[in-house]
Copies of this chain bind each other. A is one copy, B any other.
Amino acid sequence: MPRDPRYDVLFQPLKIGPKTMKNRFYQAPHASGFSGDFYPRSEARFREIKAEGGWAVINTSGLSVHPEYDCWGGAETHSRLWDDDDARNWSLTVEAVHRHGALIGAELITIGGASGYESRLPSRAVSGTVHDSFWTGATYVMDKHDIRELQRSYVDAARRARSAGFDIINFAAMQGATVPLMFMMKYFNQRTDEYGGSFENRARFALETLEQLRQAVGDSCAITCRFAADTLHGTDQGIRVDEEGAAFIALADPLVDFWDVCIGGETLAFWPKDTGPSRHFQENFQWKWVERVRPHTAKPLVVVGRLTSPDTMVELIRSGKVDIIGAARTTIADPYFPRKIDEGRIDEIRECIGCNVCNAHYGSGGRIICTQNAVAGEEYRRGWHPEHFHKASNHERSVLVVGAGPAGLECAVVLAERGMQQIHLVEAAGDVGGHLNWVAELPGMSAWRRVVDYRVMKLSKLKAVKVVTHTRLSADDVLAYGAQIVVMATGSHWSREGWNRIDRTSIPGADANLPHVLTPDQIMLENKPIPGERLLIYDCEGYFMGGTLAEKLARAGHRVTLVTPFAGVGPIMDGTGENLFLVPQLNQLGVKVFGSHLVRCIGERTVTGYWSVAPDAPVEWAVDGVILITSRVPEEAVYQELRRRPEALKKNGIEAVYRIGDCLAPRLYVADAVFDGHRLGREIDTTKPAVPLPYLRERPTLDAPSGRPTSNPVR
């Protein structure tokens, strides 16, 4: 289909210095957990597919310009442009992006006032005292010689980037953890020389460095600055858009070819104000600051803010206030976003749900994952492509998928994409979606429904899938169904006995058949009555359920006590950035949080437990009801019965029975349930589909190029 002309404005080319963007879609810098210097092949393929999907500019993650700024341990450690070998590894990504006519930007960064976790080097700081977010490091105040040396490191890195083929040098002055912004912020800058004091002085480091970058590579590379135009301090300790923000933009405007502005990040701990989770931030949440940047610059301007709607994007460009649509999470959820608009397939866009597991997962040393896009992070190592599917060699087989939650839905879609001719997706409930249907009803969680919406849209186009609802299948029903391949995706339920990973057994008195003991499914799905005012939530899971139910029930007027063996409210939400907003919210709602506490026994009016530090001193809570968020139990009875009846399977022509998603093993992340369904769909025609194929692993090798297929199956 041709492009709807109302989106034409998004596809106008734009000159940025010596380069030209082919359209207005700009992948803002974001980390992936496998930066191109360390996992070059994974990085290259991850970014390439976005270029292929139509983004005019792809940026790297922040590339450290000097070993003093080696960031913290774990995966993010590896994002560097320290030497020619790093540049060489990155050139693989550069070439991959160029193949599709996109430009690529290198974000040059000095993150952390202190770090040295790998290099063991103390790092140069603007003023004394280590950085709040890098407190294990060591710093020394830089003198003018140190400043010159650091600026030379920027220039060296830019030269390396240019020789690797980068088109854009993106100078990061964002978040109060990058040296250029730390110079600008009074909070970090207590200098008394010409780099401290007045804002002109505080901006000097950034201005000088930008000038040096321009001089060194500005003839052949576009220069931009990723600038936190408002750090949301609200005081003169940070950057306020109408004051320091405007001032810097005016001062630096001649030095950049366009502005890559972002908002938030008074220190690194406040990153979720920039990468706002959908629970607490609407689409386009940065706009109210960005529009105030316009008067101060004559250069093209980027806007970001979890933009997922092409219509909003058109409006923004039409307003004349911004020129470029920036996005990070949207590019992860759907690398083909621009192309789908261009090809008139706007309804096929896979919208980011703003859950931020991408960040939580690579932030804790893993790879990037995505709830909506099961392929994210798997492009190289599993050879998957989010939009391309090979025809299954067993495509003439009929498949029955039992259960239409996230895993079952995804599996059915992938099987259909792979050309399986007959797929029945059978769901016990009245609607497809599984537990997401009620999860999306929790406060702030409505964007999660997009996981279901996208797949429902796909099913409406993929005619091979027949959806059957209101139908609960027993093992006998499955046997009699007539399918050759059976995929059990029946999900899980919350334990009704308080089964938990600490006691590894049930909790005395925990019996959700009683009126005063409840599980999340009973509340949300079965409308079990809440027994009184005072409620205790026991959260052994550590993600969103505990805190979110607490919010819901407190809003409904209950007095809620949240008890958890974790240090505080669901620690996964530290990684997703949700806790930054949710925890103060719970506090305001009067929710009492008992971190590092465990429940030992549940009575009708009293719950007894203990503080982990003092197991012998009982703690008592007087309550009217208890909500058990202790663990989930697979709905596997039908699967296990089928496994026990191999003869019956054979007799009924069933060649294989698989289980996916929570039915196999309850997953913390919806992303992993979706992945599991996707994985089985991709591998439905291998010798042993139940066992995932080995994947390519990038590692240094002794004498051979790395990344070869593992020579033994991983089995």
- Asked if B129 and A665 sit within 8 Å, CB to CB, the answer is no
- Asked if A664 and B140 sit within 8 Å, CB to CB, the answer is yes
- Asked if A699 and B38 sit within 8 Å, CB to CB, the answer is yes
Encode contact with B along A565-599: 1 for CB under 8 Å, 0 otherwise: 00110001000000000011001000000011000
Nearest-Cβ distance from residue A667 to partner chain B, whole angstroms: 5
In the complex, what distance in Å separates the CA atom of A262 from the CA atom of B400? 51
Of the candidates B75, B82, B89, B711, the one whose C-beta lies within 8 Å of that of A84 is B711
In the complex, what distance in Å separates the CA atom of A668 from the CA atom of B140? 14
- Asked if B614 and A700 sit within 8 Å, CB to CB, the answer is no
Nearest-Cβ distance from residue A181 to partner chain B, whole angstroms: 14
Nearest-Cβ distance from residue A647 to partner chain B, whole angstroms: 17
* A88-136 with Cβ < 8 A to chain B: 88-89, 92, 116-122, 127-132, 135-136
In the complex, what distance in Å separates the CA atom of A92 from the CA atom of B703? 11
- Asked if A500 and B140 sit within 8 Å, CB to CB, the answer is no
* Interface membership of A180, Cβ < 8 A: no
Given contact pairs A132-B502, A634-B140, A702 touches B705 in the complex (Cβ within 8 A): yes
Of the candidates B117, B504, B614, B702, the one whose C-beta lies within 8 Å of that of A89 is B702
- Asked if A501 and B130 sit within 8 Å, CB to CB, the answer is yes
Please indicate the chain B residues that have their CB under 8 angstroms from the CB of A41 in the complex: 700
In the complex, what distance in Å separates the CA atom of A210 from the CA atom of B67? 46
Please indicate the chain B residues that have their CB under 8 angstroms from the CB of A704 in the complex: 705
- Asked if A501 and B587 sit within 8 Å, CB to CB, the answer is no
* A120-162 with Cβ < 8 A to chain B: 120-122, 127-132, 135-140, 143, 149, 153, 156, 160
Please indicate the chain B residues that have their CB under 8 angstroms from the CB of A1 in the complex: none
- Asked if B122 and A664 sit within 8 Å, CB to CB, the answer is yes
Given contact pairs A40-B700, A74-B365, A587-B614, A504 touches B83 in the complex (Cβ within 8 A): no
Nearest-Cβ distance from residue A578 to partner chain B, whole angstroms: 14
Please indicate the chain B residues that have their CB under 8 angstroms from the CB of A667 in the complex: 122, 138
Considering only CB atoms, which chain B residue lies closest to A643 in the complex?
B143
- Asked if B190 and A504 sit within 8 Å, CB to CB, the answer is yes
Considering only CB atoms, which chain B residue lies closest to A584 in the complex?
B613
* Interface membership of A26, Cβ < 8 A: no
* Interface membership of A672, Cβ < 8 A: yes
* A626-662 with Cβ < 8 A to chain B: 631, 633-634, 643
Stoichiometry, as copies per complex, reads 2
Please indicate the chain B residues that have their CB under 8 angstroms from the CB of A129 in the complex: 499-501, 504, 631
Given contact pairs A140-B664, A567-B568, A118 touches B367 in the complex (Cβ within 8 A): yes
Please indicate the chain B residues that have their CB under 8 angstroms from the CB of A595 in the complex: 567
Please indicate the chain B residues that have their CB under 8 angstroms from the CB of A618 in the complex: none
Please indicate the chain B residues that have their CB under 8 angstroms from the CB of A694 in the complex: 67, 83
Of the candidates B77, B88, B132, the one whose C-beta lies within 8 Å of that of A702 is B88
In the complex, what distance in Å separates the CA atom of A500 from the CA atom of B187? 12
Nearest-Cβ distance from residue A33 to partner chain B, whole angstroms: 9
* Interface membership of A194, Cβ < 8 A: no
- Asked if B122 and A366 sit within 8 Å, CB to CB, the answer is no
- Asked if B712 and A83 sit within 8 Å, CB to CB, the answer is yes
* Interface membership of A258, Cβ < 8 A: no
- Asked if B675 and A499 sit within 8 Å, CB to CB, the answer is no
Of the candidates B74, B666, B710, B715, the one whose C-beta lies within 8 Å of that of A149 is B715
Given contact pairs A501-B135, A504-B129, A542-B135, A89 touches B701 in the complex (Cβ within 8 A): yes
Considering only CB atoms, which chain B residue lies closest to A542 in the complex?
B135
Of the candidates B117, B366, B502, B665, the one whose C-beta lies within 8 Å of that of A118 is B366
- Asked if B366 and A708 sit within 8 Å, CB to CB, the answer is no
- Asked if B715 and A153 sit within 8 Å, CB to CB, the answer is yes
In the complex, what distance in Å separates the CA atom of A143 from the CA atom of B72? 41
- Asked if B84 and A504 sit within 8 Å, CB to CB, the answer is no
Please indicate the chain B residues that have their CB under 8 angstroms from the CB of A40 in the complex: 700-702
Nearest-Cβ distance from residue A615 to partner chain B, whole angstroms: 9
- Asked if A85 and B140 sit within 8 Å, CB to CB, the answer is no
* Interface membership of A522, Cβ < 8 A: no
Nearest-Cβ distance from residue A28 to partner chain B, whole angstroms: 24
- Asked if B572 and A136 sit within 8 Å, CB to CB, the answer is yes
14 contacts across the A-B interface (CB closer than 8 A): A66-B714, A67-B715, A72-B364, A84-B712, A85-B708, A88-B702, A89-B702, A121-B692, A122-B664, A138-B668, A139-B665, A149-B715, A584-B614, A701-B705
Chain A residues packing against B (C-beta within 8 Å): 37-41, 66-67, 72-75, 77-78, 82-85, 88-89, 92, 116-122, 127-132, 135-140, 143, 149, 153, 156, 160, 187-188, 190, 364-367, 369, 499-502, 504-505, 541-542, 567-568, 572, 583-584, 587, 595-596, 613-614, 631, 633-634, 643, 664-668, 672, 675-676, 679, 692, 694-695, 697-708, 710-712, 714-715
With A66-B715, A74-B365, A88-B701 already in contact, 16 other A-B pairs whose C-beta atoms are closer than 8 Å: A73-B75, A74-B75, A83-B694, A83-B710, A83-B712, A84-B710, A119-B714, A120-B675, A127-B504, A128-B499, A129-B499, A132-B502, A137-B668, A138-B666, A583-B613, A700-B707
